Structure formats: C-alpha cells, structure tokens
C-alpha cells in the first residue's frame, strides 16, 4: 500500500509518519511505500523498510497536486495548512494555500478518477475553528459552521468540497475536526492558544510558563497521540457507515485551565504548579471565551474514534512520548 502524507513536516505529520514507518501497516494492509510532502522537504522516516519519497511540494503551485497524485497513493492524508494567525493576517495567502491548494488536490484526484477510475481514501485534517461564537456546550454534531476566522472559513469550505467530491465518487473522503492538540511538543510559540500547552509542558521540565487567562476558561483538547490515532482510524474505517456527512467532530477532553493545573499538580507536584506565572491578558481571554468549550462528538465516538478521559492521562502521554517516560 502506498500512503501519501501532505504536510508531513508538521507536528502531526511527523508523528503520523513515524507511526506508519514503525508499524508498517495501515489496518490490514502492509505499508510498502510512503510519500512525504511538505513545503520544506520532510526528513526520511526512521526504520522504515519500504520505499520512502521525501518531496518538497507546495500544493498551491500549478502541477504539484498532479505530481503527487501521479503515483496513485491508496491513502492520502492532507494535513497541510497555514495556521490561523497567518491566514487571518495574509488573506490572499490563506485562501491560496488552505483553499486553493486543497481544491487543486481534490481536482487532481478527480481527473485521475476520470482517467482510470482511481479512487483513494482521503483523510483531511479539519479543525474546531469551523464553528464560531456564540456556541452551546457541548456543541452538537448538527451545529452549523459559522467560523470567525479566515482559517476556519477555509477549513469549512474544504469540508464541503470533501463531502461533494466523495458523494460523486471521485474519492472516499473523511474530514477530521481536530480539537486543540495539547500538550503540543516543542518550543513555546506565538499562537494565542499556546498557553494551553505551555502551562503544562514548561513546568514538566522545570521551566516557567505564563498563564494569560483565568482558570475558569474551558477548552477542548486531545493529545498528539490521539490526533494521530484519529488519522489512522479515519484511513481504515468503513465509510459506508459514515454516509454522506463526511466531516466529524472528534472526541476530546473538555477541561478548564484550573482542571489542567490540578492534573499537573497530581502528576508533577506543587513545585511544577508554582512555575506557572499569571499574567492576565484581556485580549487573549476574550479570544478564548469565543472558542469551543467542548463537542458532543457522539457520531465520531459511535464510529470508534477515541481520546483521553482526563488531563492526567494527557500529561502521562506527553511524558511517555516526549520525555522518555519519566520526569
């Protein structure tokens, strides 16, 4: 089986690559060929016995999608996007990468389908940014998509395209609305939501972290490991059971910042919690209040998607996957 990952150099892309390269199968099929594409050339997968192609590719450039589809990958993971802040600041770039890039991919698949009946599984990484305030809690599966960012708009549009191309039989697509991924490994970044990870990640390695919002803020989380799990399950799931509504809000953990902090205390003690410095930021607080506090996600759960039940577990996953298993 040939698997293509677009956006393979990103955080989820790298983890997905290593999972596939490590297990060398996807469902019942052996993964014998991996194509890894991103705007920066992805690193080759470690320990993979099959054939790996690492490709520098920008989907929004003419011909790129055709090149990627030319090898007729059986499964395509499309994770590539520019992030929310950049898509909001650079309107044209956001639409070019996040909408036109995705559409170019879908069109290349459609043309291949019309040439030789090609019909891959397409797993698309969508986002909870497709919904916008005011929001109920929990958000039902049938809630409308009224994004309040251009990024969320582009994801919502791609969801609609994915359903329509699937309905026409051009490919067999599934859209995965990822919760905020927490604990995001790596360095602190400038994202407004970055503190959800940093208030846990930094104290776990004896570093200070800044908390800009009240402990009462509630948000919707999943670990990087679960995010990769969603992708793998989506790639192998029987989509006949999904029907024409191809975009699913994933399960996750709804937790307040206070609950995150208490989980940190249980796992790493008071000294870790003491490293969280409160620096209230009215703008970030206001943004957070508009974000999703949690989804019902009953369709996804019924289809076998699973996520963590507690922040203790999310922290333990981080310690296992990023910190060698112990503090």
Residues known to be catalytic? 151
Cβ at position 169, least distance to a copy of itself in Å: 11
Task: Please provide residue 12's backbone torsions phi and psi, each rounded to the nearest 5 degrees.
Answer: -70, -40
- Specify the pairing of strand 180-181 against strand 33-38: unpaired
Residue 160 touching a copy of itself (CB under 8 A): yes
| Residue ranges in 46-105 that form contacts with a copy of itself under rule CB under 8 A | 91
Buried b (16+ CB within 10 A) or exposed e, 89-105: eeeeebbbbbbebbbbb
Task: Evaluate whether 280 touches 217 at the Cβ level (below 8 Å).
Answer: no
Gap between the Cα atoms of 46 and 175, Å rounded: 28
Cβ at position 129, least distance to a copy of itself in Å: 12
CA-nearest of 4, 61, 13, 10 to 35 is 4
| Residue ranges in 238-267 that form contacts with a copy of itself under rule CB under 8 A | 244-245
Question: Which of residues 98 and 198 has its CB atom nearest to a copy of itself in the complex?
Answer: 98
Cβ at position 162, least distance to a copy of itself in Å: 10
How is the beta sheet containing 218-222 ordered, strand by strand?
A: 180-181, 218-222, 253-256
Gap between the Cα atoms of 85 and 64, Å rounded: 25
Gap between the Cα atoms of 233 and 12, Å rounded: 14
CA-nearest of 248, 254, 197, 191 to 220 is 254
Site stretch for a copy of itself (CB under 8 A), options 21-29, 154-162, 259-267, 294-302: 154-162
Residue 173 touching a copy of itself (CB under 8 A): no
Question: Which of residues 43 and 148 has its CB atom nearest to a copy of itself in the complex?
Answer: 148
Residue 161 touching a copy of itself (CB under 8 A): yes
Site stretch for a copy of itself (CB under 8 A), options 41-49, 72-80, 151-159, 291-299: 151-159
Question: Which of residues 162 and 183 has its CB atom nearest to a copy of itself in the complex?
Answer: 162
Site stretch for a copy of itself (CB under 8 A), options 44-52, 144-152, 263-271, 300-308: 144-152
Binding region for a copy of itself (CB under 8 A): 91, 110, 132, 141-148, 150, 153, 156-157, 160-161, 163-164, 167-168, 244-245
């Amino acid at each position: 089986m040939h698997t293509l990952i677009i956006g393979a150099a990103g955080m989820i892309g790298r983890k997905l690559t290593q999972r596939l390269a490590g297990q060398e199968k996807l469902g019942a099929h052996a993964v014998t060929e991996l194509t890894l594409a991103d705007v920066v050339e992805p690193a080759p997968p470690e320990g993979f016995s099959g054939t790996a192609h690492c490709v520098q590719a920008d989907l929004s450039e003419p011909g790129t999608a055709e090149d990627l589809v030319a090898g007729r990958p059986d499964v395509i993971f499309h994770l590539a996007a520019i992030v929310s802040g950049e898509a909001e600041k650079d309107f044209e770039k956001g639409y070019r990468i996040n909408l036109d890039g995705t559409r170019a991919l879908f069109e290349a698949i459609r043309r291949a389908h019309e040439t030789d009946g090609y019909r891959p599984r397409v797993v698309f990484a969508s986002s909870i940014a497709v919904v916008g305030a005011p929001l109920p809690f929990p958000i039902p599966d049938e809630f409308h998509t009224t994004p309040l960012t251009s990024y969320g708009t582009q994801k919502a549009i791609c969801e609609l395209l994915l359903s329509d191309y699937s309905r026409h039989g051009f490919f067999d697509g599934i859209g995965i609305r990822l919760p905020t991924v927490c604990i995001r490994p790596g360095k602190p970044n400038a994202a407004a939501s970055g503190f959800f990870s940093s208030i846990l990640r930094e104290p776990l390695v004896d570093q200070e972290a800044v908390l800009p919002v009240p402990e009462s803020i509630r948000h919707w989380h999943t670990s990087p490991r679960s995010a990769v799990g969603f992708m793998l399950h989506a790639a192998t799931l029987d989509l006949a059971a999904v029907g024409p509504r191809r975009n699913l809000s994933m399960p996750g953990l709804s937790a307040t910042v206070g609950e995150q902090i208490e989980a940190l205390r249980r796992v790493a003690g008071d000294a870790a919690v003491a490293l969280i410095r409160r620096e209230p930021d009215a703008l970030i607080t206001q943004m957070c209040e508009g974000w999703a506090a949690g989804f019902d996600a009953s369709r996804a759960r019924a289809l076998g998607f699973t996520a963590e039940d507690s922040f203790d577990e999310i922290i333990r996953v981080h310690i296992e996957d990023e910190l060698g298993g112990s503090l």
